[in-house]
Amino acid sequence: MASPLKQFKARALSRPGVRKAYDALENEFAFLDEVLKARASSGLTQAQVADRVGTTQSAIARLESGAGKPSVATLQRYADALGYRVEIKLVKSRSLTSRSTTTPPALARRRRG
């Protein structure tokens, strides 16, 4: 028998709106999983990482929980403290043709702007 939490999750994810929002966070969840795995493999506590980064344990807890939006510099300091490095990649998510006349909304706003 599934646990109450698993049952709740299954019911919630059966709703299309909830499923869409959950799926939209997939990359963020995957990133946070990598962050936690890196600290676990380093054998350091949040307090030890905070000391190496020059911040507080609560700031490290917020970073690891996904609260807030840390800068690339903050992520680099965190990774350095663990003996890692940060890699940022742009990965094509959909196919655009060279004949496409659609301008991404952010670019269109800058051009008008």
Q: Does pTM top 0.85 for this prediction?
A: no
Q: pLDDT at position 93, please?
A: 80
State the sign of the Cα–Cα–Cα–Cα dihedral 69, 72, 78, 82: positive
Domains and CATH numbers, the chain: 4-89 (1.10.260.40)
CA dihedral 16, 14, 20, 89 (to 10 degrees): -160
Does residue 82 have a pLDDT over 90? yes
Give the tens place of pLDDT for each residue, 12-63: 999 989 888 888 888 888 999 999 999 999 999 999 999 999 999 999 999 9
Give the tens place of pLDDT for each residue, 58-81: 999 999 999 988 999 999 999 999
Copy the structure tokens of residue 85.
Answer: 């490095």
